[in-house]
Amino acid sequence: MNILEERILQDGILKDGNILIVDSFLNHQIDIKILEAMAGKVKDKFKEDKITKVLTIESSGIAIGTIVAQTLGVPLVFAKKNMARNLDDEIYETSVASYTYKNNYPVAVAKKLISKDDNVLIVDDFLAEGNACYGLIDIVNQAGANVAGISIAIEKGFQNGGRNLRADGYKLFSMAIIENFTDGQIIFR
Amino acid sequence: MNILEERILQDGILKDGNILIVDSFLNHQIDIKILEAMAGKVKDKFKEDKITKVLTIESSGIAIGTIVAQTLGVPLVFAKKNMARNLDDEIYETSVASYTYKNNYPVAVAKKLISKDDNVLIVDDFLAEGNACYGLIDIVNQAGANVAGISIAIEKGFQNGGRNLRADGYKLFSMAIIENFTDGQIIFR
């Protein structure tokens, strides 16, 4: 069991049987040491892949994206929600479905920040249905760049995102994969 | 001239004479080395202050908050906009006025994440009128904790935030202070 799995068992809170709250160490308060541990594993997994840029999505991907980018020695770009059109009209835009809020929201990246020569590692805190990931993949594709892989802190293995991304051939690394919640217990894959 | 000031002159874009765009290195794409340089200076400035926690506000403060927290060896907490009430009802909430959008928005922090024993360093990317800072100060005060100081990447010296915070006695460190924009040139203090 790795440091993230241990911390999920120690400080994660299960609400209503299937909502995992990790706001004391991952997405509201952030324990930097967990991000560093994950970034070290990401560096091992992608050391042959010549990553040129880390791409994430605001807000909860930014902290983990920052430490992964630092560890790989490349810049971080985060896709913005509700990007101010008047400040930068040259954008790649896509629409992401929110499983939690049952709606769609636009996310965008300034065109100048991803070039066709970029080899992009997508990073996020959670993977559930994969909607945010596929949105970021769409942006990378619009730029004509390459998706080198995807790194996730917590994958919900009982939802479809991980299965679909692997079936589509993406190199996906998840630091912790939750198989299911059984009788209020968290079972890892 | 420090690394941030040099980078502002090199890659910052002035729009309409008084809007500084730094999205290629500070708040859309992030150059981690600039954040590390700033975090090193923050550590020097606050080394006697026994900081226990870094507090910032989503989204653009998170990257810089992450590296400052890493350098100080403490956790990061970021205040959330539109915090989901049903997920965590025990929150400190305040209202922040947006100079850009001419409205007010609520920001919140879960009560469990700041205690009265905390010695908090507030971190953000920009300081203009100081509205976000005063909102974060309000949250720290609600928690009964202490504001040890405030660290900012870019202070707009021609707006009121820095002057007011210093007049109120806060220990404020700004990595770059822009005195004004003269004939399309950026003049640092």
Name the one residue in this structure whose structure tokens are 């919140």: B108
Cα R_g (chain A), whole angstroms: 16
Q: In which band, very low, low, confident or very high, does the pLDDT at B183 lie, cut at 50, 70 and 90?
A: confident
Rama region for B139: left / alpha / beta (φ>0; ψ in -120 to 50; rest): alpha
3-state DSSP call for residue B2?
coil
pLDDT tens figures, B38-59: 999 999 999 999 999 999 999 9
User: Do B20 and B8 contact (CB within 8 A), yes or no?
Assistant: yes
What distance in Å separates residue B161's CA from the closest CA in chain A? Answer: 23
Task: Summarize the confidence of residues A51-74 as an average pLDDT.
Answer: 97
ipTM of the complex, rounded to two decimals: 0.95
Which member of A28, A59, A70 has the closest CB to residue B32? A70
Q: Give SS3 for B13.
A: strand
Q: Does A69 reach chain B within 8 Å, measured CB to CB?
A: yes
pLDDT at A88: 53
pLDDT-wise least confident of A46-55, B87-96, B174-183: B87-96
What DSSP state is assigned to residue B82? S
How many residues are present in chain A? Answer: 189
Contacts of residue B36 in chain A, CB cutoff 8 Å? 70
Which residue, B102, B24, B184, B12, is CA-closest to A90? B24
User: pLDDT digits over A127-143, tens only?
Assistant: 999 999 999 999 999 99
Which residue from B35, B67, B78 is facing A28, i.e. has the nearest CB? B78
- Chain A hits for B66, CB-CB cut-off 8 Å, are 30, 32, 35, 62-63, 66-67
- Cβ proximity of A26 and A175 under 8 Å: no
Give pTM, 2 decimals: 0.96
